[in-house]
Structure 1
């Protein structure tokens, strides 16, 4: 059987991502000398077809007014403005207080890539050694400055995990553990819940997000 160069390159990207997320800290730091690596000809992950999905208006008991904090690692695969496939790896800190989210992105060496602040009234983005950028929309800020935009507003709910109450969503429970969500499809995103923390810890451990247009894949590992 002949294997295409595209398949080989995709396998290499997935292998690199797996190494960064699974290796000890010393190996992870040695994996990349920079946060963004350019590649070409990558294919997206296949979508998971939900079994026995449910469709609702995402009526949940989620409260977005509490304080939350997450720390972990991210891997992003996106297409830049020139149509080239790119990857970004690193660490993130998420601080949420009421309706305001502050997201700090760092490269694998711990250097700050960007600090994003989002609230209903405005959004700002800080880059190293540059004046802060402001706009009404956090997605526009991130897209223009970084080349990709994380779905900050959706993540406020998806990381809990729950569908956002602002639009219709299709959800699927985990058949192995009905108390846990397996997948959410909402606002053009497919959110796959890969792993939950082992007892006595609670909450998510790994979640993958994907969108077809424009193509974007996000993999998150939550350390706490």
Structure 2
């Protein structure tokens, strides 16, 4: 985007290829939730992992210029003690954006463009792509840990439930059973810049 304006106008075109086959897998019927006894046991034994690799599908709905926008594709998430690295890919597995978050700040790389850096990732994504991604929260949420009302992060039971944290409404719609970790998470919040933002994340692989 001068530079911010050009990038904001360019963002829909960069992600237009994400509007086709990626969304199909997001609509598959979720498996039946685990029983209460199973979900309680699996939640109590779930351990937070500092180093993980996750891949799956992502769907983002938001507004731009009072018009609904949608972007669909796949993602690769890698985190360790030093930071988080995210790749956003087209349905053809072409990397269209790279996000890096560490102690020095956040960096966004769009395919064929110079990297952009900022201390606030949400602001960087909002200015560049038109929507925000709560990466700091997802570091816990993707593993089934949520902080509510300022309390220490607690383990989420492996069942269909909705929670509110950090301004986002989270729905844990389905879970992988062995080992127990979230399979589908729906996120929703209202923003002044992008209206109602809805994000659906489906985790296909966990390493």
Please confirm whether the aligned pair reaches a TM-score higher than 0.5, indicating the same fold: yes
2:79 aligned with 1:96: yes
Of 182, 189, 203, 2:161 maps to 182
Tell me the CA shift for residue 108 of structure 1: 1.2
- 2:56 is matched with 72
Unaligned regions of 5+ residues in structure 2, if any? 1-20, 29-45
Cα deviation, 1:64-100, whole Å, max 9, x if unaligned, reads: 7x111110000000112x2221000000000001151
The 3 A distance-change label for structure 1 pair 129 and 142 is: same
Unaligned regions of 5+ residues in structure 1, if any? 1-15, 24-60
Higher helix residue share: 2
The SS at the match of 1:160 is: coil
Tell me the CA shift for residue 168 of structure 1: 5.2
Would you say the 8 A contact 2:54–2:78 is kept in 1? yes
Of 21, 28, 31, 2:26 maps to 21
- The Cα RMSD (Å) is 3.0
Would you say the 8 A contact 1:171–1:185 is kept in 2? no
CA distance in 1, matches of 2:142, 2:25: 21
Cα deviation, 1:104-138, whole Å, max 9, x if unaligned, reads: 10111212121000123311001111111111111
Greater relative CO (CA pairs within 8 A, separation 6+): 2
**Aligned length, in residue pairs:** 165
Tell me the CA shift for residue 165 of structure 1: 7.7
Would you say the 8 A contact 1:169–1:185 is kept in 2? no
CA distance in 1, matches of 2:153, 2:85: 28
